[in-house]
Amino acid sequence: MTHTDAPRSPQTSAASIDAIPLRHPWRWVGAGAILVLAALFVYGAATNPAYGWPTYLKYLFDERVSQAAWNTLQLTIYSMAIGLGLGVILAVMRLSPNPVFGAVAWVYLWIFRGTPVYVQLVFWGLFPSIYQNIRLGVPFGPTFFQLNLQGMSIAFVLAFVGLGLNEAAYMAEIIRAGISSVPEGQTEASTALGMSWWMTMRRTILPQAMRVIIPPTGNELISMLKTTSLVTAVPYTLELYTRTRDISAVIFQPIPLLLVAATWYLVITSVLMVGQFYLERYFSRGASRKLTAKQLDALARAQLGEGHL
Amino acid sequence: MTAMVRAEQVCKSFGALEVLKGIMLEVQTGEVLVLVGPSGSGKSTFLRCINHLERVDAGRLYVDGELVGYRERGGRLHELTPKDAARQRRDVGMVFQHFNLFPHRTALENISEAPIHVKGVKRDTAVTQARELLDQVGLSAKADAYPAQLSGGQQQRVAIARALAMQPKLMLFDEPTSALDPELVGEVLAVMKRLASAGMTMVVVTHEMGFAREVADQIVFMDGGVIVESGAPHEVMTNPKHERTKAFLSKVM
């Protein structure tokens, strides 16, 4: 049995259309007006001494600042990793048929979404004072492993753990929404093929949920980058905002250093956005009827070569 | 010889709504049973009970001599563990009204997915087998297409191939052509006919009376959660004994 899915191309081809494209004069006017306004603003900013451009340039690539930017990026990535990992677990727990898991996840969300992240970070900063020692062993019995928290400088760890635990609560809701967006038929088809509940999640549901999960997660990631400026509450002071503020407090020039911090935040955000673009493209495979370049090639070749498929 | 499917007084309710009220039937190995009836008559629910997508509330349902969803021990029924229930489903293929193909996988990947990840078949073997199945349903040129790029009829044929890839001993079809454009119905029915003539045991819920007449060994008319009438297709279709069967047939034929 052979199928001819595309009609055979006719032997005589009509002349291709050579129409005058629709003009959009008002777009040009609008763009021009905006350009003029932008130029005025840039000129004003460049000539205004309050911006302190020489100071800006001096500190933009200052080692303390670039180190702080690196610390900020690390905080962001580590806390998002915790948020994402724990978020998946919490979302799956909430949706699992096991009521114990569901209740645990609900209480976690209730606490971590219900209190400000700043308050949580202050709490994590005080954690070593509350629990001076962590001992692993049998309760009231022998100890196998002991960790003295007060003797360690763990502000950085506490900072990203604190941010990550808070983020997990929000990520859990985003992931849950993503999972719920996958039609029930997908679960049924997987179940009917003999897949376990967990395999259905991993192979069928989560990959499809990713398409819904990624855009708000990109938002969360960018938002996290900026939330790291709150870890001064722990207190951890070597991230971008606090570091530039500390420098400006010494040299009495807050505006250029604010601009330095803003520039770095913007650069990091831009890099993250590029990553998001490629992730979105990967997980949107199969979502559109449009053929990929590779598929179009194959079809065109088939049309030229074998006549029919 | 045990029947492939044996239902004894199968009952099923959703809350207070009784959907199945004591279904009794048998499907022998190699037989094709067609379930017909108005919507809401419980035929899809019964089909879903056969592979335990719905649990039976009362009565017994056996597939190949094995109780579905439960284990009988010491005179009492014990629910199967999810693992055992999944093992039971592996041998029963199911085709859905809305295809339910995995949209993020190509046609080929849809078919090889379960053999590789559920059965543990080697990837090469599974892919070769998937290509053969695609060829059988006339879609070897579409191996790398995603479901969204296929017509409804093509999607349903891939879905049939996907179910067959698990080498089931029984195939369930839940209104496989109801979501298709009329011109695409034929290609799906053709695949099903070939499957039936190859000796596959099938339970089919459908409104395609032509298919029922041609392929079915047994036709069962359900209404209101009970079997109203059953028998050989030409008997039930040309000479229905019950008023409800007559009324229904006059509408669909």
- Give the closest residue to B50 by CA, choosing from B36, B39, B61, B41: B61
- Least Cα separation, residue B227 to chain A (angstroms): 25
Q: What is the CA radius of gyration of chain B?
A: 18
Q: List, in order of start, the domains of chain A with CATH numbers.
A: 48-285 (1.10.3720.10)
Tokens found for residue B136: 């059988």
Top pLDDT among A308 and A72 is at A72
**CB-CB under 8 Å, A1 with B138:** yes
Q: Strands B202-205 and B170-174, how do they pair?
A: parallel
Phi, psi of B213 (to 5 degrees): -65, -40
Residue A297 pLDDT > 90: no
Query: Per-residue pLDDT tens for A85-131?
Result: 999 999 999 988 889 999 999 999 999 999 999 999 999 989 888 88
The DSSP symbol for B53 reads: S
Query: Per-residue pLDDT tens for B65-105?
Result: 999 999 988 889 899 998 999 999 999 999 999 999 999 99
- Give the closest residue to B202 by CA, choosing from B2, B1, B4: B4
Report CA-CA distances (Å) from A8 to A17, A309, B143. Answer: 21, 11, 21
Q: Are A118 and A163 in contact (CB under 8 A)?
A: no
- The pLDDT assigned to B216 comes to 95
Shortest CA distance from A189: residue in chain B: B100
Q: Are A100 and A209 in contact (CB under 8 A)?
A: no
Rounded CA-CA distance A129/A152 in Å is 12
Strands laid side by side in the B58-63 sheet:
B17-27, B5-14, B58-63, B66-67
Rounded CA-CA distance B158/B189 in Å is 13
**CB-CB under 8 Å, A193 with B118:** yes
- Least Cα separation, residue B141 to chain A (angstroms): 7
Chain A positions contacting chain B at CB under 8 Å are 1, 3, 5, 183, 185-186, 188-189, 191-197, 199, 203-204, 207-208, 283, 285-289, 291, 295, 298, 302, 309
Q: What is the CA radius of gyration of chain A?
A: 28
**CB-CB under 8 Å, A1 with B100:** no
Residue-averaged pLDDT of chain B? 93
- The pLDDT assigned to A3 comes to 52
Q: Are B64 and B27 in contact (CB under 8 A)?
A: no
- Find chain B residues with C-beta within 8 A of A191's C-beta: 53, 86, 89
Strand partners, B8: B60
Q: Strands B5-14 and B17-27, how do they pair?
A: antiparallel
**pTM for the predicted model, two decimal places:** 0.79
- Least Cα separation, residue B38 to chain A (angstroms): 22
Q: How far is CA B121 from the centre of its chain?
A: 24
Q: Which residue has the tokens 């191996």?
A: B143
- The pLDDT assigned to A82 comes to 96
Shortest CA distance from A204: residue in chain B: B102
Q: Are B102 and B109 in contact (CB under 8 A)?
A: yes
**CB-CB under 8 Å, A3 with B145:** no
Rounded CA-CA distance B14/B203 in Å is 23
Residue A193 pLDDT > 90: yes
Query: Per-residue pLDDT tens for A39-94?
Result: 999 999 999 998 989 999 999 999 999 999 999 999 999 999 999 999 999 999 99
Rounded CA-CA distance A294/A303 in Å is 14
- Least Cα separation, residue A108 to chain B (angstroms): 27
Best of A193, A296, A308 to substitute, by most chain B Cβ atoms within 10 angstroms, is A193
Residue A143 pLDDT > 90: no
Shortest CA distance from B145: residue in chain A: A295
Strand partners, B231: B219
Rounded CA-CA distance B157/B193 in Å is 12
Q: How many helices (H) and strands (E) does chain B have?
A: 9, 12
Q: Are B225 and B21 in contact (CB under 8 A)?
A: yes
- Give the closest residue to A66 by CA, choosing from A267, A270, A274: A267
Q: Which of A194, A208, A288 shows the shortest C-beta gap to B90?
A: A194
Report ipTM (2 d.p.).
0.91
Q: Which of B96, B100, B166 shows the shortest C-beta gap to A194?
A: B166
Residue A307 pLDDT > 60: no
Kindly state the percentage of chain A with pLDDT values over 70.
Answer: 94
Residue-averaged pLDDT of chain A? 87
The answer, for B86 touching chain A at a CB cutoff of 8 Å, is yes
DSSP H/E element including B9:
strand B5-14
**CB-CB under 8 Å, A189 with B101:** yes
Residue type, B207: H
Residue type, A55: T
Using 50, 70 and 90 to split pLDDT, how confident is the model at A1?
very low
Best of B45, B89, B104 to substitute, by most chain A Cβ atoms within 10 angstroms, is B104
- Give the closest residue to B173 by CA, choosing from B141, B132, B216: B216
Shortest CA distance from B112: residue in chain A: A193
Rounded CA-CA distance A66/A260 in Å is 10
- The pLDDT assigned to A105 comes to 95
Query: Per-residue pLDDT tens for A6-21?
Result: 555 555 678 888 888 8
Q: Are A86 and A165 in contact (CB under 8 A)?
A: yes
- Least Cα separation, residue B58 to chain A (angstroms): 22
Task: Reduce the secondary structure of chain A to three states and give it as a string.
Answer: CCCCCCCCCCCCCCCCCCCCCCCCHHHHHHHHHHHHHHHHHHHHHHHCHHHCHHHHHHHHCCHHHHHHHHHHHHHHHHHHHHHHHHHHHHHHHHHCCCHHHHHHHHHHHHHHHHCCHHHHHHHHHHHHHHCCEEEEECCCCCEEEEEECCCCCCHHHHHHHHHHHHHHHHHHHHHHHHHHCCCHHHHHHHHHCCCCHHHHHHHHHHHHHHHHHHHHHHHHHHHHHHHHHHHHHCCCCCCHHHHHHHHHHHHCCHHHHHHHHHHHHHHHHHHHHHHHHHHHHHHCCCCCCCCCHHHHHHHHHHHHCCCCC
Neighbouring C-beta atoms of residue A290, cutoff 10 Å: 10
- Find chain A residues with C-beta within 8 A of B102's C-beta: 186, 189, 204, 208
Q: How far is CA A217 from the centre of its chain?
A: 4
Taking residues B170-177, what's their average pLDDT?
A: 95
- The pLDDT assigned to B1 comes to 60
**CB-CB under 8 Å, B105 with A185:** no
Number of A/B CB contacts below 8 angstroms equals: 85
**CB-CB under 8 Å, B94 with A207:** no
**CB-CB under 8 Å, B147 with A185:** no
Taking residues B126-138, what's their average pLDDT?
A: 95
Q: Which of B93, B114, B148 shows the shortest C-beta gap to A288?
A: B148
Rounded CA-CA distance B61/B211 in Å is 26
Report CA-CA distances (Å) from A113 to A17, A117, B123, B165. Answer: 59, 8, 44, 46
- The pLDDT assigned to A11 comes to 56
